[in-house]
Structure 1
Amino acid sequence: MTARAPLRRPPRISCVICAYNEAPRIAAVLAVACTHPLLDEIIVVDDGSTDGTAEIVKGFSSVQLIRCTENQGKSAAMAVGIAAAQGELLMLLDADLKGLTAADISALALPVLQGSAQVSLSLRQNSLLAFRAIGLDFVSGERVVRKTLLSEVLQDVHGLPRFGIEVFMNRRIVVRRLPIAVTHWPHVTQARKTEKLGYWKGIRAEWRMIVDLLKAVYPLALISQTFQMLRLRIDHGSRASFAARIRKVPDSPR
C-alpha cells in the first residue's frame, strides 16, 4: 500500500491593523479578527493616538499592541507591524471598517491560501464608484500578501509618504506580475474622514492623502499601474472543501 503524503500545513497569517484615533471603531474589527481561525496572530500598531484607541485594544487579550510615541503615518506604522509579524502571509486590515464578518475575512484569505492568487484585495460597498465600475480598488487597505513582498524593503517603507504604502505595494506586485484576486465585500464599508473629523477637516485630510499618493507615484504612472493590475486580476471562486480541509471556518450571519 502506498503511503499517503502528509497534508501540508497552511501558511500562517499575521493580521496587521494600523490605527490612529480609532477608539469608536476598532473594537468592531477586532471582535471579528480575534476569533477567526485563519488568523494566527493579530497585531495592532497604535500610531500615536490621542484618544482611547490603545485602551480599547488592551481589552482584547490575544492582540499584540505596539504603541508609537508619535503619529508618523500609515506607511511607517505598517512597517513596524510587518517587522513584528511572524506569519508567512500578511492580512492587512483598516481599523475603521463597518459591517465586517468572519465570512469576509475568509473570502479575502482563501484565494491566497488556495494558491489561485498571490494577492487578494477587497472591493468594499463604499469603494469609489470608479473602482467599483472597473472591479478593482487599487488603494484598498484590506489585502492578503506574502510577507516577503514587504519585509525585504522595510527601510523603503519607512521612508514613504504617510499614505504611500498601497501604491508602493502595487508597484512591487506589478513588477513581479503577481496574480490578483479581487474579493467583493458588498456589506462592508469604511468610515470616511468627513465622518470622523467633520466635513471641512475631513475634506482637508482626504486631500492630504491624495497628495501623499501622488508623491509616491506620478499621476500617469498611477493610471498605468492601475491598468497593469487589472491585467493581473484573475477570476476566482471559494472552494468550501479546501476551507474545511485546512480549518473549520465560521460563517457569521449578516
Structure 2
Amino acid sequence: MSSKVTCLVPAHDEAARIGAVLSVLVGHPQIDRVLVIDDGSRDGTAGVAQQAGAEVLRLVPNRGKTRALAQGIAASDGDWLLLIDADLTGLTAADITRLVWPVLEGRADVSLSLRGNAPRLWHWLGVDYISGERMLPRALIAPHLAALDSLPKFGFEVFLNRLMLKRGMRPAIVRWPGVASPAKAAKRGLWRGIASDVLMIVDILRATGPLTVLSQIASLTRQVR
C-alpha cells in the first residue's frame, strides 16, 4: 500500500500569507504532493503558490472552503491527506512532522493541531474541534464528496468529526504553541471580520446542529484526556 501524503491547502485571497506556509510544505520530507486550491482569489494567490512550487487548482467563482476541499480531495491521490490552512504564521517543518508522524506510525488514526492562539477554552479542553490542520486517511472522506457539495461553506470540519467519531477513530492532538491563525478582523477589517466569524458559526450550526456540536466537543475531549 502506498504511503503517499497529499497536502491540500484551500486558499482565498491569501497572497500575503500563503508563501510562508508553502515554504514549509513544499519539499518537506513527509509530503509527496502539495496542492493549493485557489478558491476564486483576486489578489494573486495562485501566482504566489506556483512560484513557491505548489500545484494549483483554480476555482472560479469562489465556492467556500468545504467545496474547495471537495475539489482538492477529488484531485488528490495516495492514502493520506494533510490539510493545512493558508494563512498560518509561525509554522515550521517540525510542526508538520509532529502532525504527520502519529498517523504514519500507527499511534493514531487522525491528528489535529491545537494552535497557540486557539481560544482558551480549546486549550483547557485539550482539543480544537474545528481545527483546519489535520492528517487523515483519504479513504475516510473520499467516498463522501457528494455530501460535501451539499454542506454550507464552513461545514467541513464538523462533517469530518462526525465521520471520525462514527468510526471510533483514535485522534492525536498536536500542540503548536508557536503557530497562529490571524483573526479575520485583522485580515478583512473589524466589521467584515466580525461578519465572517458570525457566518462561519452559522454555517457550522447549519451543517450539524448545536446539540451535535456539543456532543462532538464532549466526545473528542473524552478521547484525548
TM-score w.r.t. structure 1 length?
A: 0.87
Matches of 1:65 and 1:230, distance apart in 2: 36
Q: Does 1:48 align with 2:40?
A: yes
Q: Which residue of 2 aligns with 1:127?
A: 118
Shift of 1:191: 1.2
Q: Which residue of 2 aligns with 1:102?
A: 93
Shift of 1:230: 2.0
Shift of 1:50: 1.1
Stretch of structure 1 that moved more, 89-98 or 150-159: 150-159
Q: Which has the higher Rg, Structure 1 or Structure 2? A: 1
Q: Does 1:20 align with 2:12?
A: yes
Between the two proteins, what is the percent identity of the paired residues? 44
**Is the Cα–Cα contact under 8 Å of residues 42 and 64 in structure 1 kept in the other structure?**
yes
1:48 partner amino acid: G
Q: CA RMSD in A?
A: 1.1
**Is the Cα–Cα contact under 8 Å of residues 10 and 113 in structure 1 kept in the other structure?**
no
SS at match of 2:91: coil
Which of the residues 185, 188, 194 maps onto 2:185? 194
Q: Does 1:179 align with 2:165?
A: no
Aligned length: 225
SS at match of 2:136: strand
Shift of 1:232: 2.8
Higher helix share: 2
1:184-230: CA deviation from partner (whole Å, max 9, x where unpaired): 00000001100100111100011000000000111111101111122
Q: Does 1:166 align with 2:187?
A: no
1:95-150: CA deviation from partner (whole Å, max 9, x where unpaired): 00000000000000010011010010000000011101110000000000000111
**Is the Cα–Cα contact under 8 Å of residues 126 and 224 in structure 2 kept in the other structure?**
no
Q: Which residue of 2 aligns with 1:222?
A: 213
SS at match of 1:126: coil
1:14-163 superposed matches below 5 A: 14-61=6-53, 63-163=54-154
1:43 partner amino acid: L
Matches of 1:87 and 1:200, distance apart in 2: 41
Shift of 1:10: 6.8
Matches of 2:92 and 2:69, distance apart in 1: 23
**Is the Cα–Cα contact under 8 Å of residues 2 and 79 in structure 2 kept in the other structure?**
no
Unpaired segments of 5 or more residues in structure 2?
none
Matches of 1:146 and 1:23, distance apart in 2: 29
Matches of 1:116 and 1:233, distance apart in 2: 13
Shift of 1:58: 1.5
Matches of 1:125 and 1:48, distance apart in 2: 29
Matches of 2:58 and 2:2, distance apart in 1: 30
**Is the Cα–Cα contact under 8 Å of residues 15 and 42 in structure 1 kept in the other structure?**
yes
Shift of 1:82: 0.6
Matches of 1:190 and 1:166, distance apart in 2: 16
Unpaired segments of 5 or more residues in structure 1?
1-8, 235-254
SS at match of 1:30: helix
